[in-house]
């Protein structure tokens, strides 16, 4: 019977055991995994759509389903039903409405018809961290903002590693004029002011949709961030190129692509893994900083940086800045603890014995 997952070699299993022994990093990893799972199913916990509606003996599940109008549930309007009002309307009947723990969406005005102003936490109404300056639930925006930051950071890491590893391996393997030419191009590219480019591009695409602006922002950040990985991979490839197994592969007629990506790259992956948590933390910090400056995700997209900007401009409503700052610091500390544990577990100087 074929194996569903590849069998790990003894050295990798030993490194994973060492990682689990670093309790601070391992517990932080478990907490982060839990937060990631919660963010992926955020609609089941934080949403203004009901989880389930029982009406006249028929069950409906609106969270991931179609939009239901008020008239479908016996109300007198044709736009999407307000499920909080519908639960009140069904009170005392056989009909039922099951709402999420926090029955508000991150972009919803929780106090329609009232003035825009920050409101402190109100447990009776389900605003456990209060509302921001335009009446949106802060906890909802924090949770969805974490999911946006996570998607951005993972995409950033994947693209940065893809470009940096490929270019760095080619530089280290071929060397000579190719290496010198690419080094000069990287030096020129690194001197282009990143923030000015972001400001110019943000003003150009200001009228584009949310999805378009997100991909443009990601592309800009990646284009100015891949060079640091290139230098590491160049040095690592130079070192591995001088080893006997590379010479043996060349004698056997292996192509440069096969040598680089099937032989050299796997021997550097254990060290590359140690960079992953710090890359993710850097991406989250960069996105938050850009959002804080107003050049990040377009409104009304949930964003931690946007909440921080609100909090610093409304210091008489401290729950805004305290909530956003605490969430940001907590996630970055957890990621840093995981990174330190991985670095300790995969450290070749600490655990390698030469004979």
Residue range 138-351 in CATH 1.10.3720.10: yes
Q: How many residues does the chain have?
A: 355
Rg (CA), the chain: 26
pLDDT at 209: 62
Per-residue pLDDT of the chain (355 residues; tens, 9 = 90+): 444 445 666 777 788 888 889 899 999 999 999 999 999 999 999 999 999 999 988 999 999 888 899 999 988 888 899 999 999 999 888 999 999 999 999 999 999 889 999 999 999 888 999 999 999 999 999 999 999 999 999 999 999 999 999 899 889 888 889 989 999 999 888 888 887 887 787 777 666 666 677 788 888 889 888 888 898 888 888 888 888 888 888 888 888 888 888 888 887 777 788 888 889 999 999 899 988 988 888 888 899 999 999 999 988 999 999 999 999 999 999 999 999 998 888 776 555 443 3
Q: Residue ranges per domain, the chain?
A: 52-98, 138-351
pLDDT in tens, 279-291: 999 999 989 998 8
pLDDT at 211: 66
| Cβ atoms of residues 228 and 219 within 8 Å | no
For the chain, the 3-state helix, strand and coil shares in percent, each to the nearest 5, are: 65, 5, 30
Separation between Cα atoms, residue 213 and residue 299, nearest integer Å: 11
pLDDT at 306: 93
* pTM of the predicted protein model: 0.87
pLDDT at 350: 58
Pair of tokens at residue 60: 């409906």
């Amino acid at each position: 019977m074929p194996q569903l997952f590849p069998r790990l070699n003894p050295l990798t299993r030993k490194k994973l055991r060492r990682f689990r022994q670093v309790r601070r990093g391992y517990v932080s990893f478990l907490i982060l995994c839990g937060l990631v799972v919660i963010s992926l199913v955020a609609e089941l916990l934080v949403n203004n759509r009901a989880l389930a509606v029982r009406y006249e003996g028929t069950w409906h599940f609106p969270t991931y389903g179609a939009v239901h109008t008020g008239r479908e549930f016996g109300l007198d309007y044709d736009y999407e039903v307000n499920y909080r009002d519908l639960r009140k309307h069904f009170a005392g009947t056989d009909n039922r409405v099951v709402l999420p723990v926090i029955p508000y969406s991150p972009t919803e005005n929780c106090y329609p018809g009232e003035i825009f102003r920050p409101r402190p936490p109100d447990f009776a109404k389900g605003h456990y961290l209060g509302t921001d300056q335009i009446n949106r639930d802060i906890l909802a925006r924090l949770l969805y903002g974490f999911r946006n930051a996570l998607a951005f950071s993972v995409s950033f890491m994947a693209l940065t590693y893809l470009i940096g590893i490929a270019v760095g391996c080619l530089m280290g393997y071929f060397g000579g004029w190719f290496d010198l030419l690419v080094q000069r191009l990287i030096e020129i590219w690194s001197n282009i002011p990143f923030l000015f480019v972001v400001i110019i591009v943000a003003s150009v695409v200001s009228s584009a949709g949310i999805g378009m602006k997100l991909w443009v922002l990601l592309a800009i950040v990646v284009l100015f961030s891949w060079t640091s990985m290139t230098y590491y991979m160049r040095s690592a490839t130079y070192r591995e190129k001088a080893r006997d197994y590379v010479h043996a592969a060349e004698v056997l007629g292996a192509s440069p692509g096969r040598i680089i990506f099937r032989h050299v790259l796997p021997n550097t992956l254990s060290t590359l893994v140690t960079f992953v948590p710090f890359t993710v933390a850097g991406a989250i910090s960069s996105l938050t900083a850009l959002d804080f400056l107003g050049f990040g995700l377009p409104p009304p997209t949930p964003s931690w940086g946007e909440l921080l900007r609100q909090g610093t401009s409304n210091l008489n409503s401290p729950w805004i800045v305290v909530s956003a700052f605490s969430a940001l610091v907590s996630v970055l500390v957890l990621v840093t603890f995981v990174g330190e544990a991985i670095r300790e577990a995969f450290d070749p100087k600490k655990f390698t014995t030469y004979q």
